[in-house]
Amino acid sequence: MKKCYIICGGPEPCMNAEISEGAFIICADSGYDKALQAGIKPDLILGDFDSLENPLPDNIETMRSPAHKDDTDTMIAVEPHSTEDMTTLRSSAPAAEEQTIP
């Protein structure tokens, strides 16, 4: 079963994140800063990048969203086009739980 992890922005660190080998990792906006601190290399970085502190890398796919939108960067990461081949989704958000994608 392939898993997808979304690293979200916010004050919570993800230094203790246990990520399955072969999982697809998405960073939502400043979640990329948290991934860098934890030594995690994402497969995709997306968002409007309004809260990102580090420069975007050239060697990782990025998707820029408009600054004025209806959804948060995390919700955009959850959308089916971002996780189309994934069976399980896990977020670094504190209230999030692992979910099976239908």
pLDDT tens digits for range 5-21: 888 887 776 666 677 88
For residue 47, list its beta bridge partners: 64
d(CA 52, CA 88): 26
- Say if CB 26 and CB 61 are below 8 A apart: no
**Range scoring the smallest mean pLDDT among 48-52, 53-57, 67-71, 83-87:** 83-87
pTM: 0.73
Residue 75: partners with Cβ closer than 8 Å, 6 or more residues away: none
Average pLDDT over residues 10-34: 81
The helix (H) or strand (E) run that includes residue 5 is: strand 3-7
d(CA 99, CA 50): 28
Q: Please give the pLDDT value at position 102.
A: 43
